[in-house]
Amino acid sequence: MGPLDHVDLAAIWLTLKLASVTTVLLLLIGTPIAWWLARTRSRLKGPIGAVVALPLVLPPTVLGFYLLVAMGPNGFVGQMTQSMGLGTLPFTFAGLVVASVFYSMPFVVQPLQNAFEAIGNRPMEAAATLRAGPWDTFFNVVLPLSKPGFVTAGILGFAHTVGEFGVVLMIGGNIPEKTRVVSVQIYDHVEAMEYTQAHWLSGGMLLFSFLVLLALYSSRLKQNWRG
């Protein structure tokens, strides 16, 4: 890899690791949230839905700032992690993961919520009349029927985490091989006038993002034609 040195490669590796861990966590956390949002008649549906969607409109620096304060030595999360002997989260990989989970949450929850809503009540009722309890129904009817929603949620969550910058800078700073992801590395290269490397990384990101979206949209198109 001529133009990319080992620092660049470490940034790419770190980015992929961060996006993977975040996506897995988001699918685990986002599924019950999306399920609740899709099924509830509670008055809390509006406020909770809005909170989940906040990262769509907030400047990443605002989110990063509050997370930094909360996870810092004097914040309530920071106090908690310290009392558990974990130290504080900012400027660590774990801190980045936490921040990314918040930041990419809507990109996972919303496709899942749409998928769950599209299934409607009927398949669940049919399953209940066929002796399937709630968990049985969820794993054997809801999950298979919402597979396209999970694929979309996973792709968007991953891609969006790969593309984050502001939150990473606020929470993770710029520590090579620990918190320096590709987007930050590009920023560094440009600051240092290393345009060749900046081009290689930026070009790679552009290609990656395009391919992800291409895969997503062409699979959707196919579904529409079939339906």
Partner 1 sequence: MIGEAEILLEMSECARTGVVTMNRAQEKGIHARFQVRYPGFALDVDLHLPGRGVTALFGHSGSGKTTCLRCVAGLEQAGIGLLEVNGECWQDSAAGVFVPTHKRPLGYVFQEASLFPHLSVRRNLEFGMKRVASSTRKVSWGQAVDLLGIGHLLERMPDNLSGGERQRVGMARALLTSPRLLLMDEPLAALDLKRKQEILPYLERLHDELDIPVLYVSHSPDEVARLADHVVLLDQGRVVAQGGLVETLARLDLPTAFTEDAGVVVEAVVGDHDDQYHLTRLDFEGGSVLVARRPEAFGQRLRFRVHARDVSLARVPAERSSITNVLSAVVMEVVDADTPAHVLVRLDASGTPLLARITRRSADQLAVSTGERLWAQIKTVALLG
Chain residues that interact with partner 1, rule: CB under 8 A:
122-123, 125-134, 136-137, 140-141, 144-145
The 3-state secondary structure of 107-148 reads HHHHHHHHHHHHHCCHHHHHHHHCCCCHHHHHHHHHHHHCHH
Q: How far is the CB of 141 from partner 1 (least distance, A)?
A: 6
Least Å from the CB of residue 155 to partner 1: 21
CB of 223: closest distance to partner 1 in angstroms? 13
137 or 179, CB closer to partner 1? 137
Q: Considering the complex, state which of residue 123 and residue 163 has its C-beta at the smaller distance from partner 1.
A: 123
Of 29 and 132, which has the nearer Cβ to partner 1? 132
Under 8 Å CB-to-CB from 23, ≥6 apart: which residues? 104, 108, 154, 157, 158, 161
Q: Which is nearer to partner 1, 123 or 173 (CB)?
A: 123
Rounded Cα distance between 49 and 46, Å, is 5
